[in-house]
């Protein structure tokens, strides 16, 4: 296998890596906010369920969660999903896992905001929703962005766990190429590492630009 062919195959497999990354963020970022509100709910059963959910997601390996979501419906409930269920199971597992982490990050950001800002909003006649959207949310985003950035960078690397149920993403493809006849050997993993590094560098740059744009909230 030539170097150009290897790079081409890794680049093609990177599409799945990027899709897992993108779908996870699209689902986990808003879901994390919902989880936070459920945890702060006055309805005790909902609060307890949410706390158990967060504890399980943070206390068990992501690779195990992927396997449970993929295998349990068919093995336990005999439910068969159409289409590429392997890929969908990976995305679902990543979303529910990262939403738990984002919920705790949001909690730290929201609870760090001074009580006086809530009182000032009340004096100005803002309702609870207006206060949250116009005053609390922008500041929460600003304060939690460094922690969110760390999780997003970790997500890029965690996409390799999709191989646990046979989903082909870039790292899985790198392993397949490395053991194939006339493969470039360890060079394959070095190139895959470059892909990950460049992608993470782009992610870090974008998040840095967002953080700079939010410097208004200081």
Please say if the pLDDT value at position 29 is more than 60: yes
Determine contact, residues 200/121, Cβ cutoff 8 Å: no
Q: Using alpha carbons only, what angle is made at residue 127 by residues 125 and 132, rounded to the nearest 5 degrees?
A: 120
Q: Using DSSP, state whether 127 is helix, strand or coil.
A: coil
State the DSSP string of 133-175.
Answer: IIIIHHHHHHHHHHHHHHHHHHHHHHGGGGGGGT---HHHHHH
Number of C-beta neighbours around residue 89 at 10 A: 24
pTM, 2 dp:
0.89
- In the chain, how many domains are there? 1
Give the domain CATH number at 158.
Answer: 1.10.3720.10
**Domain span at residue 169?**
3-216
Please say if the pLDDT value at position 146 is more than 80: yes
Number of C-beta neighbours around residue 101 at 10 A: 21
More confident residue, 175 or 66: 66
Please say if the pLDDT value at position 50 is more than 90: yes
Confidence bin at 88 (pLDDT 50/70/90): very high
Please say if the pLDDT value at position 68 is more than 80: yes
Alpha carbons within 13 A on the beta-carbon side of 115: 0
What is the rounded average pLDDT for all residues in the chain?
88
Please say if the pLDDT value at position 126 is more than 90: no
Number of C-beta neighbours around residue 156 at 10 A: 20
Q: Which of 29-33, 48-52, 147-151, 174-178 has the lowest mean pLDDT?
A: 174-178
Residues 59-79 have a mean pLDDT of: 88
Q: Rounded distance, CA 144 to CA 109, Å?
A: 6
């Amino acid at each position: 296998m030539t170097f150009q062919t290897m790079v081409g195959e890794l680049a093609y497999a990177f599409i799945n890596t990027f899709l897992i990354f993108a779908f996870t963020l699209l689902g986990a970022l808003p879901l994390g906010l919902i989880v936070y509100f459920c945890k702060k709910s006055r309805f005790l059963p909902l609060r307890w369920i949410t706390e158990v959910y967060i504890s399980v997601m943070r206390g068990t390996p992501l690779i195990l969660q992927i396997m449970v979501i993929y295998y349990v419906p068919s093995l336990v409930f005999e439910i068969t999903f159409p289409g590429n269920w392997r890929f969908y199971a990976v995305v679902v597992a990543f979303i529910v896992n990262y939403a738990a982490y984002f919920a705790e990050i949001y909690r730290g950001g929201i609870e760090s905001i001074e009580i006086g800002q809530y009182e000032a909003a009340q004096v100005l006649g803002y309702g609870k929703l207006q206060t949250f959207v116009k005053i609390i949310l922008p500041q929460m985003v600003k304060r939690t962005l460094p922690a969110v950035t760390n999780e997003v960078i970790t997500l890029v690397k965690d996409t390799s766990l999709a191989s646990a149920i046979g989903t082909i993403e870039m790292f899985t493809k790198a392993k397949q190429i490395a053991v194939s006849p006339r493969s470039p050997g360890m060079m394959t993993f070095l190139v895959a590492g470059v892909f990950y590094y460049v992608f993470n560098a782009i992610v870090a740059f974008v998040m840095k630009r967002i953080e700079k744009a939010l410097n208004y909230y200081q």
